[in-house]
Chain A
């Protein structure tokens, strides 16, 4: 259909998917994450979070998952973060910036961080053995279609995640209704 969508494309994209870009994006994501929890000003934290989300979207792109990257940008960076900012602007920032941070929760946080570190180390030591063999290294061009078949199945056949997908959407519907009922006393 589109002459641009030839198999050679994946090879041509390869120069972008270099360790340099990986470490750049990963570093940005981590730095953003650290800023999110250390900034006293909530709006600065939110901006740092956006940087993190965008960096993660970049990582998705490097994994040849453009659809996931696009959704990441639309839903998280574009939608959810705007709502975050909306709420942050409504709350009293002056007061929250004076509150003590990590009040009495830091041992828990430390424990959680140690556990996560242990997990990473074990994953690093064991290597690929932890992950399923079948990697979804799909060509960029058909990535979206692959996701569609995973979620919705092909003609006459349910995909592997169809049921989970439907359940998730039902859950979201319930959440929406719950939110409406909680905020509006009188409908």
Chain B
């Protein structure tokens, strides 16, 4: 993306305009006991992203959609209810024909704990966009396998790592971890030690687990 290389650093922002990630920053349970540093005042901030595309969708879907640009990278924050439609429209009308990646971020302190992200690219436009939605723990989200077949494994990985269920996925099961694995490791509340301890307790009979 040519424009992002030269994107100038915007002036320091007021605290309130921080993107959601900042608000929900947590001292993750797994992180070493380093106090969560306060958000630095310098650094770029997301600015509203204006483009015909955004205008069109905003008029269509209204408040369910928010468009921002951060460091020259555009993203749409959309309501969960709009997810399959927006993605399909992006592919069919806006030529975002390549689903680069699907992933999720866990914010345990938030009410809707998960951000699910679709990272899209358009070959004709040579442009990237991220689509982001928030869902609660235990909620499911429509699968996009029928839009991009590549979503198959990517969604399986998200399911494997975060436990987010994708409705309509043809074969939603663990992909990287064994079928009998407990828990979803990329959740912030998943302790690495817990897995080890259990194994040691069961197989080696050491109570302390270490």
Do A and B share a direct contact in the complex (Cβ within 8 angstroms)?
A: no
